Structure 1
Amino acid sequence: MTAIQLGTAPVRTASRGGDRSRLRLTRRGRVVLAVLVSLPLIAALAAFAILGGSAAIATGDSSSATYSYITVEPGESLWGIAQSLDPSADPRDVIAQIVDLNQLHSSDVQSGQRLALPSQYAK
């Protein structure tokens, strides 16, 4: 069996006229602290610049852009549509323009889908 002896021992405190232990930063510590404090500010400024730091100005001018539209027939693909629009052009370039204009996620199209055509291919 183990015996534990409890007793009162005097507690020593270092009192030097109110001198408390202070945190002292070296030059390197101050640099690290400054970097850590400034990182959120730099990240916020970068996010603001990337996500649209410029203000959009709404005007009353109406857009005069007109597009011609086609409806995808059963069995048609963007490749066939691109070749029929401009046989002399590379179909990949025409497909890229159609995908960008219609904000498509891929080059897959469905029967009955209505697509806007770039103005240079308007009939």
Structure 2
Amino acid sequence: MTTIGIATGLPATRLRLTRRGRRVLTGIVAFPVAVAIAAAVIGGGAALASHEAGASSGSFTTVTVGAGDSLWSIAETVAPGADPRDVVDAIVHLNALDGVVVTPGEKLAIPAEYAPSH
């Protein structure tokens, strides 16, 4: 009877990880994860900062909401030649409003492109 294969006569060895080996292996696996998390945190902060900078970097004027005013009426007043929908959208975006409801006394930033000229 013949067997195919190499017979060395040595006992089969089992891979053993020492405590130091486990630490090295854990470090190798954890390093890319830590780098990815750090990149996400840094990138997320940059996106937030750029959003805030974009909202405040352009020039704008401020109007105070009067009694009975709505964003639509303010849009028609500050930019009579423009489409009120575009003006309302720009005001909502610039002021980071959750909706279109405004209260008397509230100060709103008006984008420079729609600001009334003095």
Shorter-chain TM range is 0.5 to 0.7
Give CA deviations for 1:17-49 in whole Å, capped at 9, x if unaligned.
xxxx6536xxxxxxx978842223222223222
Flag the structure with higher helix content: 2
What do you get for the CA RMSD once the two structures are aligned? 3.2
1:1-123 correspondence to structure 2 within 5 Å: 22-23=15-16, 36-37=29-30, 38-52=32-46, 67-120=60-113, 121-123=115-117
**1:116 Cα deviation (Å)?**
2.6
Percent identity between the two aligned chains: 32
Q: Distance in 1 between matches of 2:61 and 2:73?
A: 17
Native 8 Å contact 2:76 2:84 kept in 1: yes
**TM-score, normalisation: structure 2:** 0.52
**1:94 Cα deviation (Å)?**
0.7
Native 8 Å contact 1:82 1:94 kept in 2: yes
- Classify the secondary structure of the residue corresponding to 1:51: helix
Partner of 1:61: none
**1:77 Cα deviation (Å)?**
0.5
In the TM superposition, structure 1's runs of 4+ consecutive aligned residues that sit over 6 Å from their partners are: 32-35
Q: Please list every run of 5 or more consecutive structure 2 residues that lacks an aligned counterpart in the other structure.
A: 1-13, 18-24, 48-57
Matched residue count: 85
Q: Distance in 2 between matches of 1:97 and 1:68?
A: 13
Q: Please list every run of 5 or more consecutive structure 1 residues that lacks an aligned counterpart in the other structure.
A: 1-20, 25-31, 54-64
**TM-score, normalisation: structure 1:** 0.51
- Classify the secondary structure of the residue corresponding to 1:47: helix
